Amino acid sequence: MTWIRTLWSDRLVRAGLLVGLLAILTNVAWLLWGLSIGSSAQVLHYNIYFGADLYGPGYALWVNPALSLLVLLLNAIVAALTLERQTVAARLIIWTAALFSLIVLAGTLLLALSTPQ
């Protein structure tokens, strides 16, 4: 757990981690609240030209936030290893993961808004 303490010492890295975690938690909350996950067929992809073009089980919607969390954790470990030598690189790694989490959140929100209830 020393790598968490190392990351928490830098203010910009800490802000990037918090933004990424907040985006993932918002994504999970939106999936729990906004979508009917228990239904058998759920829209997994929406195209503006053809509408809903990929259907699947509701649990498949959890792949995106799980992947986002995995990317954030792996990037946090790499950033902790490089923070002592390359502070700018560690900050860039964390903020790239935070941006990825925000993009995944935007995709989930747009998918939820396009899915009929």
Torsion angle defined by CA atoms of residues 94, 100, 106 and 110, in that order, rounded to the nearest 10 degrees: -160
| pLDDT tens over the chain, length 117 residues | 676 777 788 899 999 999 999 999 999 998 887 666 555 677 777 777 877 777 777 777 888 899 999 999 999 999 999 988 999 999 999 999 999 999 999 988 887 777 665
Report the alpha-carbon distance of residue 23 to residue 20 in Å, rounded. 5
